[in-house]
Structure formats: structure tokens, C-alpha cells
Amino acid sequence: MVSISLYKLVLSASLAALLTFSSAAPIPTPKPGNLDACGILSSTKTSELTYEVIVNCYQAIPYDPSVAATTMSTVYTLFKDFYAFRDSALASDLQKPFTCPPTDILGRLKTIEATKYRNDYSFHKAVNDAVSSLYDAHASYGIDCYRAVIFGQRLNLYAPVIDGKQSIRVYRDHLNRGYEDCLVTKIDDHDALPYMQTWSNRLSYSKDAGVRLSKALASQAYDKSTGKFEIIAGDFAETVMVPERAYVKYELQCANSQAPVVLNEKWVVLPRIEMAFKDVNSYVENICRAPADTEPVANSLHKREEIMNPGLKYAVPPPRRAAFLDLDLDPLNPLNAPAAAPVQEEFQDATRLLATKATVMYALKSRPDTGVIVVYSHDAADASEETATIYKGLQEFHRLRITNIIIDFQSNTGGYVNFASSLVQLFFPNENQFDMSLPSDLRVTKSVQDLSTKAFGKTDIPFFNAAQYVDISNLTPYNSDALFLNPVTLTRNSRQAQYTEKMTQTPYNFMTTQKLTTFPWTDNAAQIRILTDGRCGSSCALSSHYFNTLNKVAAYAIGGIHGDPLSMFSFAGGTVSGLGDINKIYKIMNVTSPLGPLPYKGDVKFPLIEVYARGRDIPLEYDAEYATAAYRMDYTPENARRRDVMWTQVANDAWRKAA
């Protein structure tokens, strides 16, 4: 080992969006033989990081009752007074495909508050686990100091169905040992498939166990930086949370060997942040502890992007690539990687036609009547510009005499709400501006009322400004703060809370032209299918609902648990925000926030608004009847690796050729 004064945690190129920098000054090199657990970490080469070194440092940080008390006061108040689904989460009778237990988030937080933990890490893990138990990807508790690295496995797994039987198999072996598609018979000495189903139930991404299984395993997602579909390792093989032990034990059965292959695969450790520390105390001060808030209020008013407007972006990071596990990638020098090569033809049975900021469009060769739009993200802030570009692609479809369209939402974690409705309007143009509007409401408390009174009519203030909403009963904008000042009381699972009356957000309307009527698929659900793996989340979930429920477009869902129904979408709760965003709004409006800042760097994310299907009193987040796809598909070794095979399977099933 070589002692270094600055512990450099360098992120791979595929994870550059997560990079955080420190302004801390370099710390003098500690003397050999005088190192605590974090000092050992600081003196370890980046290329020599191990599970044990990371865990020992994390667990060496002592439990601090004052940090715990301050944290719990803020987190408890946030979920008590702001979290939209505080009481819906108590439901114990969810219909399939939703399979998650009820969660009393306030009760769990109270238990944590009353417990003294053996170290600081155990306390923050308990808070994280409590929030994760909501099975809501919009709700998260993230503390930087315990997410300093990514743990990766060099085996990526998937769950194809072969001859009617589902099993766990190797999707990719990053060491090129020839294990691809070997049957995984055991993981950590347990039968692999039930083990993985149980393991995936710890994931908070979806209320559907099938979606959670898919989220745990490897798949593919379009990467606009390469212009190709790249491997997503899955949460089992790539995580910022500390795994249970230093390695995973696999037992494989491969076609070219009668004897089982037993592997003890250690975790590869890749840094996420760059900071300076020399021991436990400086780790806490430089990496964990939040700096004092010294930003002038006036400056905050100009940071419009930091205060999420009603066209919210996702809280869940975009899909990650497993490229950092490849042998030919230098994790110490990822930012100097060569520019992506020109996009080459990727599929045997699909021709790429056009790419936009959020989509890529293909024409199937074996089905020249069928086009595919891969909507890999809803991260399109300018909905008008994005839909105008997609419209050019639709014109090309029409020129090629394409009549059927598959809209592929797989691995789309969301983005902007405006794009959710404008995308659908390209196929089902609005007759009036409220055609895509859904009933919604917000939690109301005294502090929310105090804020809303000052925020009314302020165009730069989102969430609590009644002027940005429309009365759902008469479709007229609010001309006073009555939406917040006259709340209604709702009882859910025997617990009462105050909410606004049903309203909707001022809609976004894509101004279509008469040219849309020349397309064979316009207002014609029979010529459109949506394809999803259930991970279509947030604003993508809204697009899915608009297509399927409002416009009767049939949905195909792939993956999950063989034989079980599968959700079209996940975490449909509207308008995700964070503790930092809410406190910033209170500060700008000069109203005392009930939420103190966290003592450690990080944030708490949560959904503020409930969205309902029309005519329903169950929030869409919990309304399984409106989440289930009518058509099911299974992964196979062929369609899991070639998206064009999957598209052709959908097309052949949906639009059978005339005899």
C-alpha cells in the first residue's frame, strides 16, 4: 500500500452524474502505524479498495445521539406532514400484482428514535430501510458518507424462461470465463430463483414483486452516449448499499461441464466521490457533516432549476451501465475515455431511423409495416422541441408506409410531466386542454397553509401556489388560496389527515396540426402497442396510464415472475420533491419551515401530490386494477439480448399477418 494524503474517489464515466466534489483542503499524510479504520481507508490505493476496508470505516464512526435526534426530528416531521402516501401505505389488502406489506412509516421512525445504535452507520441504515419499506421509488433517504462507493459483481444475472420453466442464469461474465447462460443453481447455498425473489423484495422501486425481481437482475437500456443498448447490471450486482458480506457464492451448472462450478465472487469497489480525510473524525467532518447554509436568499430566487417546478424531473437516477466492471476500462481515468464512435447498425431485424433527446426510432425489417419508438427517458425539459422532433420521425414512418407502432418504455425511470402528456398527444390529439388531466390532491398542514398564503400568485414558487392548479369540478383556475385554506378530511386505513380538494395541474398542451390526421395510427389504439418491463416510472407511468386507460392502447409487459401478472408502471405518485427543495421555498417566502436541515450531507426525497384515475378514490400509486398489463411476455436468452427479437415478437402477436 502507498500512503496518500488525498483519498481520491473517482467515478466511472457511466456514473458521472453522481460525482460530488469537496472544497476541503488536503490533509497531511498520517504517520504509519497510527491509523484508525478510516485512516486505513485513506491510505489505501483506489485500485486496492476492498469490501472490508469500506465497511470497517463505516462501522467505526460512533453513534452520535445529537445527530440521530436532529435527523429523526426532520425525517419524522417530513413524513408526518408532507408525505402524500403516509396513510395509504397502511393498506393491507392490495390486489395483485401489488405484493408488499403495509408500512406504518411513522411507527417505524418512532422505533428508530427510541433505539440506541451500536454505531452511526447502523442508525442511518435503519432510517434508509424504514423509508425503503414504503416500496415507493419517489421516497428515499440518502446520506453521502455511507454511499461513498459502488459495490459491483462481475457476474450479471437474469431470469429467462426456457421450455416453460424460469431459472436464474448468467447474463454476462465480465471476466470472459465462458459462463454466459450457465444455470445458476445456488446463491449463497440457497436455491437460486427463490433466493433472488426473496432478495429482490428489499428493493423499494415498485409495489410489484415481479418488477422488483427485474430491477434486481441484468437487462438492457438505450444509452444515448453510445447510441446503443447497453447492459444494466441490476441492483443485485451493482449497489451503493453495503452488501451483507464480502463475496457472493455461486454454484453454476454449465453445458460444457458435468461438474458444478463453485465461485466465491468478491465485490469490486468503485469510488463515487472525491474527498479528503485522514481518520474517523475528519471523515465525519469532511464527508458526512453538512456545511452551514450561507447562501443569500436573493440568490436562491434565480436558481429556478433547483426548485423543481410542476414539470418535475425524476428522483431515481437513470439506468447505470456495468461498463466499469469490464477489464478494458480503467476506473482511474474514465473521464479521458475516447469519444463514442459513430453509431453502427445494431440489430439484424431493425433499422435505426432517428434519435431525439428522449427517444430513438426504428423500423422492423421482417415487419415493414411496424415502427418502434424507444422512449428511454422522459427527461425532455422542452416538451415542444422534443415532440416536434418525434413528429419528424412519425413523418418518416408514414413515408415508409408504416401503419403499426410499438412504444417501448422499458427501463424509463421518468422525467418531465409535460413530456408525459405531449408524447401521448402526438397519437391522441387533445380535443380540449383538459383531456389528459387527472384528479390530484396534496397534504395540508398549518405550516403548508402559512406558506401557501404567501406563495399564491408567485410564478416562481411551485407546489404550494394555488394559482398553478385548476379546480377539477369546474376546470377553472383558483383565484384565491382557498385550495389550501379550506381542506377536506380523508380517512385512510383508520387514520385521518387533511388534504386539498380534488384539483389538477394546469395542463400542458402540444399544439398539434391537421397533419396528424393523415397518420393511420392517429386516434387509433388498434395500431399502437406499449411495451414495458414495469420499471416505467414517475412521468413515464403517467404516459402509460394515458395510453392504456384513457386511450385503450394495449400493453405488453415483459419479465418479472413467470406466470404472475405484471405492472405496466411503478411509483405513479406525482411531483417528487426533496427536503432541500421544500426548505428553500420556505426560505424564499420568509416563512419558518417545520423541517430542520439534516446534520449530514444528503437529502430526503418524497412525492407531494397524489394522482387518481378518473372516478377512483384510491390513489393511482395503490390502484392495482389500473396498473396491470393485459399481455405478458417472458425473457428468453434471445429476446433478452436482442431487442429487435422482442419487438418482432410483440408485432407478430399484436398484428398477425393475414393468411
Q: Is the pLDDT of residue 525 over 50?
A: yes
Instruction: Name which residue leads in pLDDT, 515 or 69.
Output: 69
b/e per residue 70-93 (b: at least 16 CB within 10 A): bbbebbbbbbbbbbbbbbbbbbee
Q: Is the Cβ–Cβ distance between 384 and 508 less than 8 Å?
A: no
Residue position matching grid coordinates 390513489: 619
Q: What is the pLDDT of residue 16?
A: 28
Q: Which pLDDT band holds residue 434 (cuts at 50, 70, 90)?
A: confident
Average pLDDT, the chain: 86
Give the pLDDT confidence of 308-331 residue by residue, as tens digits. 333 333 333 333 334 434 333 333
Residue 258 CB neighbour total at 10 angstroms? 7
Angle at 521 between CA 359 and CA 358, to 5 degrees: 10
What are the CB-based long-range contacts (under 8 Å, 24+) for 66-71?
66/599, 67/120, 67/123, 67/599, 67/600, 68/113, 68/117, 68/123, 69/113, 70/596, 70/598, 70/599, 71/123, 71/124, 71/127, 71/598, 71/599, 71/600
Residue 219 phi/psi, 5° resolution? -160, -170
Query: Quick one: 522 exposed, middle or buried, by C-beta within 10 A (0-12, 13-18, 19+)?
Result: middle
Cell of 431: 380535443
Give the C-alpha separation, 467 to 477, whole Å: 7
Bridge partners for 77 per DSSP: none
Residue 59 phi/psi, 5° resolution? -80, -10
Within 8 A by CB and 6+ apart from 472, the residues are 437, 439, 440, 501, 502, 503, 504
Within 8 A by CB and 6+ apart from 452, the residues are 464, 465, 466, 481, 483, 484, 485
Q: Is the pLDDT of residue 497 over 90?
A: yes
Q: Among candidates 82, 90, 139, which has minimal Cα distance to 492? A: 90
In the chain, how many H helices and how many E strands? 16, 31
Within 8 A by CB and 6+ apart from 567, the residues are 97, 98, 206, 207, 208, 210, 211, 534, 557, 624, 627, 628, 629
Q: Which pLDDT band holds residue 11 (cuts at 50, 70, 90)?
A: very low
Q: What is the pLDDT of residue 6?
A: 25
DSSP structure string for 580-619: HHHHHHHHHTT---S-PPPSBSEEEEEEEEEEB-TT-SSB
Q: Is the Cβ–Cβ distance between 141 and 156 less than 8 Å?
A: no
Q: Is the pLDDT of residue 560 over 70?
A: yes
Q: Tell me the CA distances in angstroms from 333 to 267, 277, 326, 328, 329, one per residue in order.
A: 20, 22, 14, 12, 8
H helices of 61-164, where?
65-81, 105-113, 120-132
Residue 613's Cα: distance from chain center in Å?
Answer: 22
- 3-state SS class at 173: strand
Q: Which pLDDT band holds residue 69 (cuts at 50, 70, 90)?
A: very high
Q: Is the Cβ–Cβ distance between 162 and 636 less than 8 Å?
A: yes
Q: Among candidates 507, 515, 437, 452, which has minimal Cα distance to 484? A: 452
Q: What is the pLDDT of residue 344?
A: 56
Give CA torsion, residues 398, 403, 404, 410, to 10 deg: 0
Give the pLDDT confidence of 611-623 residue by residue, as tens digits. 999 999 999 999 9
Q: Is the Cβ–Cβ distance between 601 and 289 less than 8 Å?
A: yes
* Mean pLDDT (whole number) for 261-288: 92
Q: Among candidates 477, 381, 383, which has minimal Cα distance to 423? A: 383
Query: Quick one: 633 exposed, middle or buried, by C-beta within 10 A (0-12, 13-18, 19+)?
Result: buried
Q: Which pLDDT band holds residue 573 (cuts at 50, 70, 90)?
A: confident
Bridge partners for 39 per DSSP: none
Give the C-alpha separation, 609 to 607, whole Å: 6
Q: Is the Cβ–Cβ distance between 470 and 477 less than 8 Å?
A: yes
Q: Locate the domains of the chain by residue range.
A: 150-270, 345-430+509-572+619-654, 440-505
Q: Is the pLDDT of residue 179 over 70?
A: yes
Q: Is the pLDDT of residue 659 over 80?
A: no
Q: Which pLDDT band holds residue 510 (cuts at 50, 70, 90)?
A: low
Give the C-alpha separation, 159 to 472, whole Å: 44
Percent of the chain with pLDDT over 70: 85
Give the C-alpha separation, 150 to 271, whole Å: 6
H helices of 82-181, where?
105-113, 120-132
Q: Give, in words, the CATH class of 150-270.
A: mainly beta
The percent helix, strand, coil of the chain (3-state, each to 5) is 30, 20, 45
345-430+509-572+619-654 classified as CATH 3.90.1170.50? no
- 3-state SS class at 386: helix
Q: Is the Cβ–Cβ distance between 409 and 345 less than 8 Å?
A: no
Percent of the chain with pLDDT over 90: 76
Query: Quick one: 207 exposed, middle or buried, by C-beta within 10 A (0-12, 13-18, 19+)?
Result: buried
| Strands annotated E in 190-267 | 190-191, 219-223, 228-232, 238-239, 247-253, 261-266
Q: Is the Cβ–Cβ distance between 331 and 46 less than 8 Å?
A: yes
Residue 115 CB neighbour total at 10 angstroms? 12
Within 8 A by CB and 6+ apart from 655, the residues are 367, 369, 370, 404
Q: What is the pLDDT of residue 518?
A: 83
Give the pLDDT confidence of 186-236 residue by residue, as tens digits. 999 999 999 999 999 999 999 999 999 999 999 999 998 899 999 999 999
Give the pLDDT confidence of 33-66 residue by residue, as tens digits. 568 999 999 999 988 999 999 999 999 999 999 9
* Mean pLDDT (whole number) for 567-576: 91
Q: What is the pLDDT of residue 330?
A: 30
Query: Quick one: 151 exposed, middle or buried, by C-beta within 10 A (0-12, 13-18, 19+)?
Result: buried
b/e per residue 448-480 (b: at least 16 CB within 10 A): bbbbbbbbbebeebbbbbbbbbbbbeeeeebee
Q: Which pLDDT band holds residue 515 (cuts at 50, 70, 90)?
A: low
Q: Is the Cβ–Cβ distance between 10 and 271 less than 8 Å?
A: yes
* Mean pLDDT (whole number) for 160-181: 97
Q: Which pLDDT band holds residue 24 (cuts at 50, 70, 90)?
A: very low
Give the C-alpha separation, 634 to 98, whole Å: 19
Asked whether the domain spanning 345-430+509-572+619-654 has the same topology as the one spanning 150-270, the reply is: no
Instruction: Name which residue leads in pLDDT, 469 or 345.
Output: 469
Q: Is the pLDDT of residue 650 over 70?
A: yes
pTM of the model: 0.88
Residue 23 CB neighbour total at 10 angstroms? 7
- 3-state SS class at 564: coil
